[in-house]
Structure 1
């Protein structure tokens, strides 16, 4: 029996390989999600665990080949894979290009010529070429980029729409056949895990060892569980601590904020490099826990991915211009709009335009913040400590009068460093200020620059672009065959008022994407989803009994459907309510 591990970069490929694994008898196939450096870390552990062969894709497969000594099989991109994505992108109204290595672009260029698709193809030889290629494309008016995971991620960082070329079943079957051939040729057993590695893996501390080039050469299970190396390496404070240790050759201890938690880090130099020990600090319990709710009131984001704000309406173009303009200075920006209308996305965009080095993006969830928490933050000099960051006060209109007053006091504390403030609220904030329900001075201090995001019902010509963006984002996540939407189905979506705005549209598209049985979302499928929404509104909070006369599968379907209706078709909330993950929910809906 061949013991194989598939390391895949997106959820859709994960699900497809799980289905194929059930049909294969001579290969014991395990599948894990991981991309690039994360995939390398998983592969190293797999080699230690005695796997005979690793199956991966694209740049991740290439990196794994350099990191392990066991055979690594690349899932090649087939012509069918390229054709499917080109069909999907045909629905976009903007200029598109394919950027990738020759194994993608050669076949793609031929297919584009055969089918008369106006899609430019650019070939790269190294992943470091991607950013330059995409920057030039953006200057020439290209907004949609098709490629592998590296290309798609780089496109999104530049504010472009990235569309991932996903792998089909036939490419996976070919990779499994290649795994069989490689196993017969290179079959070998892994060396036993050494005693010191077993001891380290039993430690509750997260432990990592880096060499003199600051590359990780060992990580224990706790480290791998808590965070992978790329997240730690992105921290300027960690790099500084490592450099100080290397320079002084003395043991160092410091408390830093990494991966949404505070860690006490001890560095010990040796001849080969530096050993790092990570222990969670009790400060986490003081600062970030939100009372009785299992949610963080303070959220740190050290690396925010750029998500393109889509739309061709005059209203959204005005918002984009304001974001670009306000991203060039440090004045407070107040973003208002209805719930679900992209206020967080606007705040993220401004942060990324202002970011020059490693300033953290700190989100204060004002609807979760409690008086005692704010006092703890002030006692810890939290706002002074992170004064070089960007502070986003999300839903500031949810603060009570005491917290509003205390926040105004914080804003007026003298400090050499100037905190950058971003704020979001509902449209009714000016009325609250006028009626004395919101602190007038606090509002005028933070509302020096204003952005109003209009509701989706007032800019319906943005819906088409948003639908295609959502479909392209869902494709690599779930891996089914949906590549577009029928025009009459799109008209049904456009005629709806969308009280939940963009968030609701995204949830509905995800529901349609999962339930569609063809390559295109049909009008009747849209009408069915809208009918459920209408029934949900009529039911309000009325209790509808579950019919238990059917089979277990039928009863389960009723429960899932009812929960989905209650949470407004939100897949994440439904999965959480049901105590299952999103992938399991997707499979149950698909059956």
Structure 2
């Protein structure tokens, strides 16, 4: 025989004990008993309602609150005339004035009883729990020393030092409520059979299903109670607000050895919008903490650093505009730049601004992924490369072997990857003389007709330098609890004269160290020099293109030309970097011309 599954929320412990005893005497019910009054009871019901109960039992104001919060039928345990009469008879032996107070569940029958028996007893009805104390204070001022009440009244009476007797529901009233609950469920037995059959069908599916009410309450779950995975549900909760607003989203997250992918859609029922979530589980290709393969979604990608570093005027502003335009396209994107120029953050920003943002962003660091995992990525049926409408980012693709590059090209062509998902690839121009760099760039630009984003090195962005440092300083002030205003003039000149071989990444960690050790409002030149001395290539003002096979004057001229190029023909900045006067610079240039 199918048992009626009942959730009972008892406002007080005594009722919970009676309910438990009743459950033990009946073999046609499966009863879960929880204790909680009013909002606590409502919250308990909201948390448990989705766990396949047929009906909920509670009492008074708690039952009313539960009924307004959940979709399941709620049976109110009545307080019978007999229950109230019993309380009155008990109070008659009390030497003092008493009143009856509570929600309508008590006071309606109290009025009926007092009218019939012509009892002269004051009766107070609460509209809500907030006004209980004020009502009882007035009663106390009028000479009342005892109140016959429900749980809300008992709590208020206790707060103001007033004696109280709790009007309890007798066993007969509770048994009647249980019987009514069973009868109600049996009367809709056909519907419940349908529900159970659909429940079984969904439970046996490889997928899991969740349905949320318009208010965001979990209304249905196919996940068995003993399988309720805390990490998985926490992941769902992260996106539920977004899911309630926007349909047809896809997010993925790896939990231990599995990847969980969530798909949401909206269902309209009786003019109410419900949110259905389908959960698919697949074996993960890598360990959860593998830095070579990461899964991101729209809410947990990080691109603010890139926006800070590339917003503004001049070259920086153009880069930001290009990123925005590239994001609108479906074409593959090739990102070129030296180490530390923010290629990964640029890829993240393209994703966040694109039409692909409601599906996952898969980041693959080609310098960290091993051969076996690379093989799985291209051949495993659970590979993220088989997804649709997602974004895949091959970071540091020039770290791949020529054989791996050939396999990737073949996979892209044979599976029509670029028609299914957004492809983004980054190459480090530090490796531009390597065969892998040229091979990938040629394939991307000539075969895939990709969009190419060139990120300039920091040394070519002198006009943006002070703005970038100001943004980073503000961020480090907040995170480190400092109030650094900026740099001394000489300190900024020292920063500008450095070559910054690792670009924005290097600038950030240098600034963090400077902010950490600086105790004055402005960062001094000595402090900058002390930190920069620890950095690679400090003091170097020329690159490998400078030839040392000429005379000293010819070598000096080569160095001046290079620095002049880096300073965009600004002779004042060039002279300052080289530590010479402008007239000396002018004379050397004139003599060599």
With normalisation by structure 1, the TM-score equals 0.45
With normalisation by structure 2, the TM-score equals 0.45
